[in-house]
Amino acid sequence: MTAEGTIVRAEFDRQNPPAQPPRGADPLLWRLSYQVWTDHQPAVDQFCQAGACRDAFRPWPCPPRRLAMVGLLAAAGSRAPWASLNRAGHFR
Ligand SMILES: [Zn+2]
C-alpha cells in the first residue's frame, strides 16, 4: 500500500501539502509537521537542505522528512499513519 493509498479523514496533496490545515485535520499537529516538511527539502545535490541533515550527509528523503509526512497523515486523520512506512522508514 502506498502513501497515496492511505485512507485519511482530510484529503490533501501528498506531493504538495498546503500550509493551512485542511478541513478536518488537527491544526497543531498539521502546523508542526508542515514546518518540518518545509525545512527538510531536497537540495540540488540530492541531500537534504536542512543544516542538521547536511552535517550528517543524510541522503534524500531524510528521517525527519519521512516523519513529517507521517505527522501530516496523522493530523489528517489517518488511523494508522505508520502503516505507510516499511521497517526501514521508507514509504511502501
Ligand atoms: Zn532532512
Over residues 3-43, the pLDDT tens digits come to: 555 677 888 998 999 999 999 999 999 999 999 999 999 99
Distance 57 CA to ligand 1 centre (A): 9
Within 1-92, residue ranges assigned H as helices are 27-39, 51-55, 63-75
Residue 2 confidence class, pLDDT cut points 50, 70, 90: very low
Over residues 42-56, the pLDDT tens digits come to: 999 989 999 999 999
Distance 61 CA to ligand 1 centre (A): 7
Distance 41 CA to ligand 1 centre (A): 7
Mean pLDDT of the chain: 86
Q: What DSSP assignment string belongs to 24-40?
A: TS-HHHHHHHHHHHHHS
Distance 58 CA to ligand 1 centre (A): 7
Distance 72 CA to ligand 1 centre (A): 16
Spell out the domain ranges in the chain: 21-84
Determine the pLDDT at residue 34: 98
For residue 73, is pLDDT > 60? yes
